[in-house]
Amino acid sequence: MALPQFEQGLLNLCKHVEALAKGCRTGVCVASEDGAKLERAYFPNLPRTFQEGIRDVPMYPSNFGSCTAAMHGNEIITTPDMKKETRWDERFVAHCLKHSIIALQSRPVFDDKGQPLGTFVMGFSEPRTVNDFDRSLMDFAADAATELFKVRRGALS
C-alpha cells in the first residue's frame, strides 16, 4: 500500500539529505495541530523504536529534547555530543544514545505565519560540530519540509 503523499515526501527528503551528508540519519518530527506535543516522527533509517520513543512527547517543558526546544524557541538547536549534554531530559539523552545518536541538529519547520509545524533533524553516530555544509543542508531540508506541510494542508482541506 502506498504511503500518503506527505509521508512519502518526508521519507524521500530524508533519504536525499542522507545521500548528501554521509553518516547522517535524518528525520522530521511533526507537532500536533494545537502545538501541545510531538505528534509523530519520520526517521527512515532508524529503528521504529526511535520514532515511537518520541511520539506524543509534550511540547512543554521545552527542555525535554532538541526538537521541543527548537519548536519552542524557533531556533536551530545543536547538540555536538549527547554524552556530555546537560540541557535535555535524561530520558531523551538515553533514548538517543540507545539508538546511536551522539550528535544532532534540530531546525524548526515553519508555516507561512512563522509558527513551528515540526522540526527537521540531522543525527550523527559520533560527536560533531555544525559546519557550513550541514547548516546549508539543514536550511534547505527544513524549507523543503515546509513545502511538504503545505501539500499536507491542501490534502486536508
Q: pLDDT digit string (tens) for 5-51?
A: 888 999 999 999 999 998 899 999 998 888 888 899 999 999 999 99
Which residues are CB-neighbours of 141 under 8 A, at least 6 positions away?
13, 17, 26, 107, 120, 122
Q: Which class does domain 30-152 fall in? A: alpha beta
Distance CA 77, CA 75 (A): 6
pLDDT in tens, 120-139: 999 999 999 988 999 999 99
25-29, 112-116, 145-149: least confident range: 112-116
Q: Which residues of 68-154 form beta strands (DSSP E)?
A: 77-79, 103-110, 116-124
Highest-confidence segment of 38-42, 104-108, 122-126, 152-156? 122-126
